[in-house]
Structure 1
Amino acid sequence: MRFHDLRHATASLLLGEGVHPKVVASLLGHSTIQITLDTYSHVTPGLARDAAATLDKLVASKIASNTAAVGPDHMR
Structure 2
Amino acid sequence: MARDLKALEAQAEDEAEFAALVSRSNESVQTLRAICHNLRPPLLSNNPTLALRALVERLDAQSPAPIHIEVSAESLCVSEETAL
Which bracket does the TM-score occupy, shorter chain normalised? 0.3 to 0.5
Task: Report the TM-score, using the length of structure 2 for normalisation.
Answer: 0.37
Mark the structure with the bigger radius of gyration. Answer: 2
The TM-score normalised by the length of structure 1 is 0.40
More helix, by proportion? 1
